Amino acid sequence: MVLAGSLLGFAPSSAATTTTTACVTTKTGAIRILLKGTCKAKIEKKISWKSNGVRGIQGVQGIQGIQGIQGAQGLTGAPGATGAAGVNGNTIWYGTVAPAANIGVAGDFYVNTVTNFWFGPKTTVWPAGISLVGPAGAAGINGSTGATGPAGPAGPAGPAGATGPAGPAGASGATGAPGQSGYSSLWFTPADLLYGRGSDTSTVASVRIGDYDEEVLDIDQDQTKFFWRGVPKGWGSATSTTWKIFWTTDGVGAKVGFDLYTASGTVGARISPDLVPGCNVGCSSSNQIDPLPAGTMNVTTITLNNTEGAPGEITEGGIFHIGFARGSYLYEGGSTFTADGLYQGKVYIFGMSVVANF
């Protein structure tokens, strides 16, 4: 279909060309349209120009045509030639020893993971490695001590510690009424050991231990010391009693023996001298040398079994009789005694303790 003219029914106007003449004043540049005549000589210059007439109105755009049918797809081109093979890449190897000569190719690298050494690149051989660990830095300057932090919360209670060693024997306690003592241990002072009989002339004296004077009992040989207390409560069921005698001598290398035995009975009952003394091997101190160093003393330990019906049995509620003597014969056990070797000089007793064993 062909469209003639415009959709408005008229053709666009054509533009007419018009020539315009003017005079320009040379001194001021003012322009004067010259409709007739000529420009003034000497003060004006003639100029002229052409101009078109008014353009007509633009016509309305025509309707878009129908899209044409798509053409057939072109033929596929032939594949190109295979390119040349690329250069092989390089490898970083690792191990716990230096690289062997047969590992890797030229350009490869290697890391020893034990020594932290770096090898490579390889040529025909591996070059010497370099350490990946730098030298130690210089020691830094110690900073100033910080302020004490707040106390932390109390930790949980720790486990109970091991039982400590036995402390020194305490001072003598007050004498309890017969059969009413509640002590599990007793301490007898030198004054307690003075209750004797017959021709016993043992007396309380003083010896110097270290820098102080200690009250002691200067005990006679073969003289039995009697002292008594009510049987401590519950001691009738004890399996044994352990006695410790604290003593020293004025001799050198003195060997001393003691006799110790117990019995229960009524008030005033005699302790039989025929009871087997409670000495044991610890009764003698043949390995202890006197005079002792300042502030020390010998300790002899004797254990007496508390067997029902046997001599020395401790009976609940009875009178606790203790027989103690410095012997002239060393008791060797059973019915064996040694007459020789015991010290004949002075023996000083600091005191005696006893503990019941259950």
Widest pairwise Cα distance in the chain: 189
Q: By mean pLDDT, which of 17-26, 176-185, 231-240, 298-307 is the weakest?
A: 176-185
**How much is the pLDDT for 100?**
93
pLDDT tens-digit profile of 120-166? 999 999 998 899 888 887 887 887 887 887 877 877 776 766 665 65
Contacts of 146 by beta carbon, 8 Å cutoff, 6+ apart: none
Are the C-beta atoms of residues 328 and 221 closer than 8 Å to each other? yes
Each domain of the chain, given as residue ranges in start order, spans 19-47, 95-126, 185-357
| Max mean pLDDT range (33-47, 52-66, 110-124) | 110-124
**How much is the pLDDT for 11?**
46
What CATH class has 185-357? mainly beta
- pTM for the full predicted model: 0.45
* Angle, CA of 134, 138 and 142, to the nearest 5°: 140
In this predicted model, which residue has the larger pLDDT, 107 or 282? 107
Mean pLDDT, the chain, as a whole number? 75
pLDDT tens-digit profile of 310-329? 766 788 877 777 877 777 76
How is residue 2 written in tokens?
A: 């062909």
Average pLDDT over residues 80-100: 87
Q: What φ, ψ does residue 333 adopt, rounded to 5°?
A: 105, 150
pLDDT tens-digit profile of 220-275? 877 766 666 778 888 888 888 888 888 888 766 566 777 777 777 666 565 554 44
